[in-house]
Amino acid sequence: MSFSSPLFLWFFMPATLLVYWLLPSRWRNALVAVVSLVFYTWGAGPYTVLLLSAIVVNYVAGLVIDSVRLLERPRARRGVLIAAVGWDLAILAIWKYGGFASRQIDAVSSALGLGHSPIVNLALPIGISFFTFHHLSYVVDVYRHSRPAQKSLVQFITYIAMFPQLVAGPIVRYHEISEQLADTGRDRYDDFVAGFPRFALGLAKKVIVADTIAPVADAAFAHAGGQINTPTAWLAALAYTIQIYFDFSGYSDMAVGLGMMLGFRLPENFNRPYSACSVTDFWRRWHMSLSRWFRDYVYIPLGGNRGGTLSTYRNLLIIFVLCGFWHGANWTFLVWGLYHGGLLVVERLLGWDRPPRTILATVLRRAVTFLLVVMGWVFFRAETMTEATGVLQAMFTWRPGELDEFAAFALNHQRTLTLALALTVVLLPASRALGPLIQSGQGRAVTAVRTVMTWVAAPYAAVLVAAGTFSPFLYYQF
């Protein structure tokens, strides 16, 4: 069930909010837990059993890790942590990477003349990467004594399965929300007034911009493995650059707005990433909840930047290899991760990870950073390495010709205007992201934007949804 589907917009969300307003405050978590499981079951079907099994295992593990009996037995306590983490990673490895691993084994076996080996084909449960990282955050936070174990199973299910962020984030570390789970006192009216315009902003980003540009990106990439010409290659890269930003940041705005309307403050996930002055700065602004998760639970435990220059570079590359594979079981994602990790290492070597000192340097570095990010998205979007290298070669080696006929057909006047206007996002100031400003900003201008989002953008997006011009969020596949 997509946030931008008629079923969600006109039935599920209104019904949930109505019941939330009518029930006493103490029933908030129970309501969110139940509707979240219904929401997940609607999309995942029998794979809900997988989510529930992970919830039970990690809930029990947290109680055991935090028990008085194990406080004086550090080895046993650590053993329970390792078992819980192993369970979570095994679920992720089997369901997300089992098919990829079996295909690589089959390729090697065939190359060695040993014949074909069995291929594993498993459907990917939606949101598996996100709820796995939530479970890992929980057991590690409890183990570190960052937060006590959650005694209430209802509150634990609410944290793991909360439908605004269940299938595509933002990734909420347990210590960020544990106190909110216990605090059911809130002003429902103020929460709705702050949350709905934020939700409307995300809906507009998704339906009005991302879904409008999606057919252009799809058509331009459709023949990427062949002799794609230079104009089509650049159109493919730029269209996808805009699509993925407005799609994913739109989802995040909708998630934050929904969380706010239900009394929760979810972490921000985007802060004008295309205004970054370096790739290092880009990763402080893009999918920020994922960056923070890897920093807290992988980078710092590996030693961070405390072990010297070479260790720091090694740790950065490890993080981005994992980040790449987290997004998908494909060599293109691995290359995308290595590409960004390598850029971060180069920036540290050259000192470009620090802010520029002049206006000219800022302008030039923003342009270079945007170009590097666009190139990276080619690996992210392409189905194979052959497609990715074909597009990149066409982008930087002149191949004359008119736009591919399918891309030209997709690029009608409306989509051309939408793409041109959306590309101006790279010219916006690097500070004051619109989402947080709409949610908590003050002043007449902010009030005017909230009004436009509520009474113009949201109804217009709803009309487009009614016309059938919506598609699943890109990050649902991760």
334-387 pLDDT, tens digit each: 999 999 999 999 999 988 888 888 889 889 999 999 999 999 999 999 999 999
Q: What is the pLDDT of residue 401?
A: 83
The pLDDT, as a whole number, for residue 246 is 94
The pair of three-digit structure tokens given for residue 442, joined into one six-digit string: 């003050």
In this prediction, residue 436 carries a pLDDT of 85
Taking 80 as the threshold, does the pLDDT of residue 217 lie above it? yes
Closest C-alpha among 338, 345, 343, 302 to residue 322: 338
The pLDDT of 391-396, averaged and rounded, is: 92
Mention every residue, 6+ apart, whose C-beta is less than 8 A from residue 153.
59
- Please report which confidence band the pLDDT of residue 237 belongs to, taking 50, 70 and 90 as the band edges: very high
Q: What is the mean pLDDT of residues 434-451?
A: 84
Give me the pLDDT at residue 477, please: 67
Q: What is the mean pLDDT of residues 236-242?
A: 96
pLDDT at 478 over 70: no
What is the rounded distance in angstroms from the CA atom of residue 143 to the CA atom of residue 181?
A: 19
Under a CB-based contact definition with an 8 Å cutoff, are residues 263 and 162 in contact? Answer: no
From residue 38, give the alpha-carbon distance in Å to each of 46, 167, 361, 467. Answer: 12, 13, 51, 26
For residues 11-23, give the mean pLDDT.
93
Q: How far apart are CA 182 and CA 26, in angstroms?
A: 9
Rg (CA), the chain: 23
- Per the CB < 8 A criterion, the answer to whether 176 and 142 are in contact is no
Domain ranges of the chain: 27-185, 191-277+355-477
Catalytic-labelled residue, pool 134, 327, 340, 413 = 327
Q: Indicate the DSSP class of residue 23.
A: S
pLDDT in tens, 26-48: 899 999 999 999 999 998 889 99
Per-residue pLDDT band at 461 (split at 50, 70, 90): confident
If phi > 0 it is left, if psi is from -120 to 50 it is alpha, else beta; for residue 441 that is beta
Residue range 93-121, pLDDT digits in tens: 998 888 888 888 878 878 777 777 778 78
Considering only residues 265 and 431, tell me which one the structure prediction assigns the higher pLDDT. 265
The pLDDT of residue 391 is above 90: yes
pLDDT in tens, 223-234: 776 788 899 999
In angstroms, the CA 406 to CA 229 distance is 13
Tokens linked to 167 = 């299938």
pLDDT at 469: 62
Mean pLDDT of 440-448: 84
* Predicted local distance difference test score (pLDDT) of residue 117: 79
Mean pLDDT estimate for the chain? 90
Q: Does residue 175 contact residue 45 with C-beta atoms inside 8 Å? A: no
Helix then strand then coil, in percent of the chain rounded to 5, is 75, 0, 25
Cα separation of 213 and 218, whole Å? 9
Q: Judge contact between 231 and 413, C-beta under 8 A.
A: no
Among 233, 240, 237, which Cα is nearest to 400's?
233
Query: Rounded to whole angstroms, how far apart are CA atoms 200 and 9?
Result: 11
Q: Are 473 and 248 in contact (CB under 8 A)?
A: yes
Annotation marks residue 327 as catalytic: yes
Longest Cα–Cα distance of the chain, Å, equals 73
Whole-angstrom distance, CA of residue 333 vs CA of residue 149: 35
**DSSP class per residue in 293-326:** HHIIIIIHHHTTTSS-HHHHHHHHHHHHHHHHHH
Q: Compute the average pLDDT of residues 314-339.
A: 92
For the segment 260-275, the average pLDDT, to the nearest whole number, is: 93
Which of 97, 117, 99 lies closest to 107 in space, CA to CA? Answer: 117
pLDDT at residue number 419: 93
How much of the chain exceeds pLDDT 90, in percent? 61
Whether the Cβ atoms of residue 374 and residue 339 lie closer than 8 Å to each other: no
- What is the reported pLDDT for 69? 85
pLDDT digits (tens, 9 = 90+) for 153-169: 999 999 999 999 988 87
How far, CA to CA in Å, does 241 sit from each of 50, 134, 228, 236?
Answer: 34, 28, 18, 9
Query: Which tokens in the block code for residue 37?
Result: 């499981």
